[in-house]
Structures are given as C-alpha cells and as structure tokens.
Amino acid sequence: MRWVYDKSTSRYRSAPIVQHRGAVCRCLTGPSRMWKYSLPVVLVLLLAYTVFSVQLQWRSVTWRQPRRAGKETSTSKVLQTTQRGKYDAIDNTSRSWTTVESGSTTHSHRTIVQTVRPTGASNCVTHTSIAFIKVHKCGSTTLQRSFLRFGFTHRLNVALPRGRDSPTIGHDGLITRDDYEPSPGGARWDLFAHHGTYNRTQLLQLMKKDTKFITVLREPVSRLLSAFHYFRMERYFPGLMNETGQGSPVVTYLDDVKKWNSVYVPPKDRDFADHICIRNCMSRDLGLPEEDFDNRTAIDKFIRGIERDFSLVMILEHLDQSLILLRRRMCWLFEDIIYDNLYWSRKARYRKRDVITEDRRQNFIEENYADYLLYKHFKTVLLDIIKKEGKDFDPELQHFKRINAVIGRNCHTVTRPKSFILGPSQWNQRIRIYNHFCTLIRQEREFWDKMFRKRYKAMKKTIH
C-alpha cells in the first residue's frame, strides 16, 4: 500500500502499489490507446528479422586457398578483414581459409578446421581440374552440389550456361559459344558439373589439360523409377494412364516396355526433351549413339572407352565408398565430400509404392541392355578397386559415415547450434562446423550459378 493526497477531500488516503511494466509490455497490454501502435511495431520487427535472415543465408559463402604440395596439415589461419575482392592471408603457408561476405566488407570466419590428407598420400596435391558428367537421375544432383561447392571454395573457373538459368550446357554432345558464359580473361574451365552429353574431345578444348573425368551410375530399373516419377513420364505414352487405372503407371509401363516405347511422344520443348529418355539413358548421357543401342560389339567398345577415359566411375548404391575413393584419388578432404544425406534419403521414399517383379525387370533389361552391361561392368570394377585399397579403407569409410550422419543431424535440428565440434581421428584433426556450412551443403545449382555469375562479373570489371 501507499499514501496519496486526494484533492477532492483534502485528505491523504491509502492506494494499491501499481507495478511499472516495460515499454514493450505497456505497448502490447497497456491502455487501449496503445493498441494502435502495437501491431505496426510487431510487423516491422518481424519484417526486419525476415530480411536479415534471408540476407544472412544468401551472403554466407566460403572459399579457401588451394592447398600446396608438400605442406603438412596445419590449423586454418584467419584472414584479416579486407575490402571485398582483396583477399590477403596473414600466413601464406596456411592450407585453408574461409570468409563470409556481409555488406561492403569481407569478414574472416572459419568454416571447418583442416582435416588431414588421404591415407598414404602425404605428398599429394589437391586436384582441381574435373569434368563431372552428370548422368540423369543417378544421384548426380547430390554430387553436383558438392562439386560446385568445391569449385566455389577453391575459386575455380566453372562452366556456366550463357545468359540464362539452365541445367544444361550444349546439346547432343556439341557445345557452341552460344551455350556457355566466357570465363574471366578467357581462362579455361577448371570444373564442368552441368548436364551435357559426354564428348571428351570438345571438353578438353575448353578445359585444363590435366582434367580428370568423373561420373556416376545407378541400377537401371531404380534409375527408371526415379525418372518416371520425377518427370511424370506417363504423359508421353498415349493410353498408358487409361490402361493403368488406379495402379502405378510405371508398373504398367514395365509390363510391356517394347509396346509403350513404340508409342512414345517426346516433349516439344527441346530443353526439356534433353532430359527425357526411354532407352539406355545412362549410356546415352555418356555418348553412346542411338544407332548402337542394339550392337553388342559397339557397346563393348563403348564400355572399354569409358573405363579408359574416366578416372572414377561412381556407383550410387555404393555412394559413400565412391566418395572415399574420390577423396583418395583427388587428394581431397572430408569437408570436400560431405553431402546432405538426410535430404537425399527423403527424396527416395516413393520407391516403396512400386512392385517390380522379376518379369518386369527382365522386360526392361531387354530394351536397355547397354545400360545393364554398363552398370554391371563398373559396379564390378568399383568393388574390385575397393578390395585393393587396403585394410584401412573400411575404417575410413565408417568414420566418414559417422561424420556425415552427425553433420546431417545437427544441420537439420530446429534449434541449430551456431557451431559444433567433431573430435579428431587418424583421418582428421578436430573439425568445427559453423552454422552457415549447414546452409551451403544444401544449396543447389541455381544458387551456385548465381554466386559464380556474381563473382565473374566482379572479376571481369577488375580485368577491364
């Protein structure tokens, strides 16, 4: 209680103590005259928070200085804050550094503490000239994200489609000057990771001489299921939906593959038609002409050529093993091969709806024998390579799976930590993962293409 003076009675009287609330509380819960201010204030605060979050996600980018030959693993040195476009390291012997762009300045920020070089490769040099031939619906988008992230962090010249957003560079194995964006200064490409039919001769005319070719294959029927659902291919087979009824269109298709292929009507849009395929699609993407689809001699020669030309043919069903081989062959780090495995596994859940009998599988193989032989051969090659990698391969593989799983879980939590640490092992030093790295591993081609275009534009201004 407190005493107040009442002028009407000229006496003091008792009155309850009123607790004073903060300005925000008075605004939201105070007298009615305050309500006219509360809603605008809340909306402005929400809008400001949303804009800040979007800008933070968009401008969170990282890159690192390429590692040098003969240097042992060292903790990443931090860059001094510099004006955008000027990146001067404190210590030139540092093997790794990263930055986060914000406003007009570039702020130092480490994404991951350096991991060690692959086992038995203490003197190897990180290989940065790579052509990744992206085979449709073979998990190649997941790998593309890793390759483009690698290209950006290492400041590589990456092939880009000219003047517009497109997943493809060139058509039918031919790349003209109208198909790609010129690199700053006319430099050759370090990295090719967009869709494009394999043409080794032409790619080597545009890329570095030491370019290594990488691709990925998938079990043919599994690849068909993915493509059929993703592209809604039932639209291109007249009468298929009527015969399917309430069932699965792809199952109806597999009941008589030859019949439905004979009535196939391709999409009218050329860009889209490049992505739709009904026979030997993996072989087609790797350059096998359609007239050789039923020529066993030509198919065998084609497979031998791929084995000769490619440094690594990955298999989606053995993705983690393939990535460990990629890390070893290219002298990369664990951080270079990390991928968003939770995102990839969620996209594959549709498969359970389709019942694929052995008869249906054989129907498909008869019409896609080149793909069947291609996949069978390189799956055998991959497993043979793994057997020869030594006893340390499986422990390294299991360690990578654990690291990738931990990163996936932490990056997908609702209350994502600002950073988290993975302990050291014989394959890596202590690794600190920062929040924005979780954003980067989920970015797809459209994001990276915009970032490369932005960088190229700035570089071209500097050159001119």
What pLDDT, on the 0 to 100 scale, is given for residue 404?
92
Write the DSSP symbol of residue 196: -
Phi, psi torsion values for 63, nearest 5 degrees: -150, 160
Helices 445-463 + 140-153 axis angle, to 10: 30
Q: Is the pLDDT of residue 366 over 70?
A: yes
Phi, psi torsion values for 391, nearest 5 degrees: -70, -20
Q: What share of the chain is helix, strand, coil (3-state, %, to 5)?
A: 50, 10, 40
CB atoms within 10 A of CB 351: 11
Portion of the chain with pLDDT greater than 90, in percent: 54
Residues near 439 by beta carbon (within 8 Å), at least 6 away in sequence:
57, 60
- State both tokens at 441: 């591993």
pLDDT category, 1, cuts 50, 70, 90? low
Contact 374, 219 (CB under 8 A): no
Domain positions in the chain are 2-58, 124-223+253-446
* Cα distances (Å, whole numbers) of residue 440 to 59, 343, 432: 10, 13, 15
Residues near 420 by beta carbon (within 8 Å), at least 6 away in sequence:
406, 410, 432, 433
What pLDDT, on the 0 to 100 scale, is given for residue 69?
37
Q: Is the pLDDT of residue 125 over 50?
A: yes
Contact 236, 272 (CB under 8 A): no
Place of tokens 């003091």: 12
Q: Is the pLDDT of residue 113 over 50?
A: no
- State both tokens at 9: 């009675």
Q: Is the pLDDT of residue 155 over 50?
A: yes
pLDDT category, 172, cuts 50, 70, 90? confident
- State both tokens at 35: 């309500």
Q: How far is CA 130 from the centre of its chain?
A: 16
49/53: higher pLDDT: 49
* Angle of CA points 402, 405, 406, to nearest 5°: 85
Query: Smallest Cα–Cα separation from 277: which of 285, 289, 269?
Result: 285
Q: What is the per-residue pLDDT across 315-347, written as a single tens digit (0 to 9) for each?
A: 999 999 999 999 999 999 998 999 998 765 555
How large is the average pLDDT for residues 202-207? 95
Q: At residue 281, what is the residue type?
A: C
- Rounded Cα gap, residues 189 and 331, in angstroms: 20
Place of tokens 């069932």: 247
What pLDDT, on the 0 to 100 scale, is given for residue 36?
55
Q: At the topology level of CATH, where does 124-223+253-446 sit?
A: Rossmann fold (3.40.50)
Query: Smallest Cα–Cα separation from 426: which of 153, 128, 122?
Result: 122
- State both tokens at 29: 């819960």
- Rounded Cα gap, residues 31 and 9, in angstroms: 28
CB atoms within 10 A of CB 263: 11
- Rounded Cα gap, residues 181 and 337, in angstroms: 27
Contact 361, 223 (CB under 8 A): no
pLDDT category, 91, cuts 50, 70, 90? very low
* Cα distances (Å, whole numbers) of residue 226 to 195, 231, 302, 352: 17, 8, 25, 12
Residues near 78 by beta carbon (within 8 Å), at least 6 away in sequence:
90, 97, 108, 109, 110
- CA-based end-to-end distance of the chain: 78
Phi, psi torsion values for 294, nearest 5 degrees: -110, 15
